[in-house]
Structure 1
Amino acid sequence: MLAVGALCGAALFILPLVGLVVKAPWPEALADLRAPESLDAFRLSLICSLSATAIAIVLGVPLAWVQARMEFRGKNLLRALTTLPMVLPPVVGGVALLLAFGRRGLVGSYLFDAYGIRLPFTTAGVILAETFVSMPFLVITVEAGLRSMNRGLEDAARTLGAHRWTVFRRVTVPLVGPSIFAGAVLCWSRALGEFGATITFAGNFPGQTQTMPLAVYLLLETRPDAAVVLSLVLVVVSLIVLVALRDRFLNVS
């Protein structure tokens, strides 16, 4: 019975991928990838996902350090809020972003009135939405790395007279470098595949906010063959991510 259940479970993951490969319009695949809308969506996805990853590293590594090393009231609440976007329905995340950064939002109204900055339905809005949903993957990965590292090396560096910032830069960061890399790759792949928060907060405007997942959604109604080709591209990217992180997530021996 267990073998049958395992076989059915494996089939649940394998069959949809096989369906994509079998039903893909291979003769027209290259032409579909070279189509202007496909190239625009790919370019925008690459720019926005890499930008979101860079922001996540700048903001997420210090946040992970605070959660791993400091003790303060409300720490558990902060950790819960940090990981909330991982389980929050993406559309709800987009609505929350609108209420915070929209033209009438808590922060967005001030940004627009004082500086003329408008985030919703812009490329910057795409980057913000992708950062919101993807940064938790980096934070929890780096925090785990900080908790498992040998802190004796940091203590030794301080004993030798190294300044706290020097210890962080020369000792801590190299030691948690693999965790930062793994978290950044996970963050980037999640940002690349983001859909719900993006379409809610930034819309679906070709060349401006239409990333690859949004293009797939639109092409399903007009050019389903092209949608399948773009879907295969995202699958290949996901497989590359798994291969890059195989030692961390796939090696269980």
Structure 2
Amino acid sequence: MDVSPIIISLKTATVSMIITFLLGLFIARFIVNIKYEKVKIILDGILTLPLVLPPTVMGFFLLIVFGINRPIGKMLLDFLGVKIVFSWSATVIASIVISFPLMYRSARGAFEQVDQNLIMAARTLGMSERKIFWRVIMPMALPGVTSGGILAFARGLGEFGATAMIAGNIANKTRTLPLAIYSEVSAGNMDTALNYVLIVTVISFVVVVLTNYFTIKERKYLK
């Protein structure tokens, strides 16, 4: 069994989770602080869109953005010598785009559950907004935020459609576990495909257990 899809998937999911975690954290906080509900609803809809659109549609949009004949993709290639499509970077970008809504919504939900009285009390004591975020909001929201990060990792690990569109299915380069499973089944190698499936299943089970653990922990914090 070729272990490169396992390594590529784990590396892709880890890098995308780190980026998604930071983006989701601060964008969720930004959305929560918006006072105009209509603006909040529109922005929330845009940020959540990758969660409801088919991954192949998001992959198509990514091709439109990063294709070598498109403005951004051409600029990256001409000025930086960076080609996104059919590269490992493309697998990371696809994972970030698809998993971001899970992290964003988890973080937003966790922030909205924080007791506003604690925030007001911190402001009364003269704490800056930055200190309030890190010393008051984040400790209270941490279980929910962590749960979102774990879900983002799992979603990044299992991404197929957008990855196939923008990164392709190149052995030892962009072939992640889902793509490897598809390739092995297409080639009739059911035993190898089963091995990959078992690996994904075990990782997914661990993710579900960890998510449930942090969900329970979050409920205890809110009591």
The equivalent of 2:128 in structure 1 is: 163
The equivalent of 1:245 in structure 2 is: 211
The equivalent of 1:139 in structure 2 is: 104
State the superposition RMSD in angstroms.
1.6
The equivalent of 1:47 in structure 2 is: 11
Please, what TM-score do these two structures have when normalized by structure 1?
0.80
Displacement, 1:152?
1.7
Q: 119-128 or 58-67, which moves further after superposition?
A: 58-67
The equivalent of 1:226 in structure 2 is: 192
Indicate whether 1:110 and 2:71 are aligned: no
Indicate whether 1:71 and 2:53 are aligned: no
Indicate whether 1:212 and 2:173 are aligned: no
1:27-48 C-alpha deviation (Å, 9 max, x unpaired)? xxxxxxxx3x2x1111110100
CA distance in 2, matches of 1:114, 1:227: 41
Please, what TM-score do these two structures have when normalized by structure 2?
0.91
Displacement, 1:89?
0.8
Computing the radius of gyration from Cα coordinates, the structure with the larger value is 1
CA distance in 2, matches of 1:122, 1:192: 17
CA distance in 1, matches of 2:174, 2:181: 13
The answer to whether the Cα contact below 8 Å between 1:189 and 1:238 also exists between their aligned partners in 2 is yes
Displacement, 1:106?
4.1
Displacement, 1:135?
0.7
CA distance in 2, matches of 1:104, 1:168: 42
Structure 1 unaligned spans of 5+: 1-34
Match among 72, 76, 91 for residue 126 of structure 1: 91
CA distance in 1, matches of 2:67, 2:124: 49
Moved over 4 A (4+): none
The answer to whether the Cα contact below 8 Å between 1:99 and 1:106 also exists between their aligned partners in 2 is no
CA distance in 1, matches of 2:24, 2:73: 22
Structure 2 unaligned spans of 5+: 217-223
- Sequence identity, in percent? 31
Displacement, 1:74?
2.9
Indicate whether 1:81 and 2:46 are aligned: yes
